[in-house]
Structure 1
Amino acid sequence: MYAIVEMAGQQFKVAKDQKVYVHRLQTEEGKKVTFDNVLLLDDGKNVTIGAPAIDGAAVEAKVIKHLRGDKVIVFHKKRRKGYRKKNGHRQSLTEIVIESIVAKGAKKAKAAEPKKAAPKKEAAPKVEAKKAAPKKAAGKADDLKKIEGIGPKIAETLIAAGIATFADLAKTKAEKISEVIADVRGNHVTDTWPAQAKLAADGKWDELKKWQDELDGGKPA
């Protein structure tokens, strides 16, 4: 009677009283060990094939000793690179002797259940404080620099305050405009800006250009 059984990650054809060298087992010397992953059994009359293992079949063995196998030389070389590396290896083995082959009724060894990791606490999502974005005027802003006396810095300041179009500027009083641009360096005269913006908003560019020729920095020359 013989069996094909998986032991320590390898498949062996074994019979009673046969000595087998397998990869190192954790079982102590002199102790018995059971292998229940039997793939095939032949009792001399019938051949039983597992799917993949035969239920109830097992191979019982006894650990004789732990040892190390013969040295194997591992040599690496790379052509035209000047690379050579030589290593030796001795596999850790266990010598066992097969004591019996059980066809039915063997109890399968219970595999140790892995410990369940404690559920991780989900970190509370970080709430990032949003920086207040500067107010943007709805719609497309006009080029306020076309107004005599308004430069890039003043135009940027007015747009940030919500005065982004010629129509917005035309509706804003000169005093209010002065308050808005108070932090912009320079002496700014805003008296004519609403009127200029009104002409620009109405599309009266020729009239605006003629008037601007008479102005100096937004005030009459």
Structure 2
Amino acid sequence: MYAIVEIAGHQYKVQKDQRIYVNRLEGEAGAKVSFDRVLLTDDNGKVEVGAPVIEGVAVKATILEHLKADKVIIFKKKRRKGYKVKNGHRQAITSIQIEGIGKGTAKKAAPKKAEAKTEEAATEKKAAAKKPAAKKTTAKKADSAKAEAKPAAKKPAAKKPAAKKPAAKKADDKKSEE
């Protein structure tokens, strides 16, 4: 029997007693963990596919140790510019041992949350039904205020063109130059 399970954002094909390395998980070494995002199970040819997950099926595992993966080198270079940068890092990972795959951790808390959500939705609908009535009265007041403000607004007066110099002055200027 094997399963495809989503662990820490990645999908893994797991079997019982398999040891795998996953992204860092919270918890101490020796702690038991359970993953309920099972996407597919295969039990001796009987395949069950989730949409998107299979409800009631979980993968149980034990954290063996926390460690770092091999070093990854990042090298950047720009030709003919004299630019070279070398960096690297070691990803934090967790080693886990798969204890078993099977039914057992059905989500019993989900119906309670659903009931609470439906109750909250009902109270929100009641509150929403009351609020629009109040908004309508304020909208009428705003419309009447706009209607009153429109006739009071006046257009600015047109600007008068600048006065031209009289022709006599031009003639006087020519005489003074001589």
Q: Normalising TM by the smaller chain, what interval?
A: 0.5 to 0.7
TM-score, normalization: structure 1? 0.49
Equivalence for 1:93: 93
Higher helix share: 2
Instruction: State the shift of 1:144 in Å.
Output: 10
The letter of the residue matching 2:105 is A
Q: Structure 2 matches for 1:164-203, cutoff 5 A?
A: none
- Segments of structure 1 that go 5 or more residues without pairing to the other structure are 112-135, 147-221
Instruction: State the shift of 1:56 in Å.
Output: 0.8
Equivalence for 2:48: 48
Q: Distance in 2 between matches of 1:141 and 1:13?
A: 82
Q: Distance in 1 between matches of 2:26 and 2:59?
A: 17
- Segments of structure 2 that go 5 or more residues without pairing to the other structure are 111-153, 165-178
Residues 140 and 95 of structure 1: CA distance in aligned 2, closer, same or farther (over 3 Å): closer
Q: Distance in 1 between matches of 2:43 and 2:62?
A: 22
Q: Structure 2 matches for 1:1-20, cutoff 5 A?
A: 1-20=1-20
The letter of the residue matching 2:68 is R
Equivalence for 1:61: 61
Equivalence for 1:213: none
Instruction: State the shift of 1:105 in Å.
Output: 3.8
Higher strand share: 2
- The SS at the match of 2:70 is coil
> 2:22 touches 2:95 (CA, 8 Å); kept in 1?
yes
Backbone CA RMSD of aligned residues = 2.7
Instruction: State the shift of 1:71 in Å.
Output: 1.1
Q: Distance in 2 between matches of 1:60 and 1:24?
A: 17
Larger radius of gyration: 1
Equivalence for 2:31: 31
Query: Residue deviations 1:42-81, cap 9 Å, x none?
Result: 0013001111111111100000010011112111111122
Query: Residue deviations 1:159-197, cap 9 Å, x none?
Result: xxxxxxxxxxxxxxxxxxxxxxxxxxxxxxxxxxxxxxx
- The SS at the match of 2:21 is strand
Residues 44 and 80 of structure 1: CA distance in aligned 2, closer, same or farther (over 3 Å): same
Q: Distance in 2 between matches of 1:89 and 1:17?
A: 30
Query: Residue deviations 1:61-102, cap 9 Å, x none?
Result: 000010011112111111122111111211101000000101
The letter of the residue matching 2:106 is K
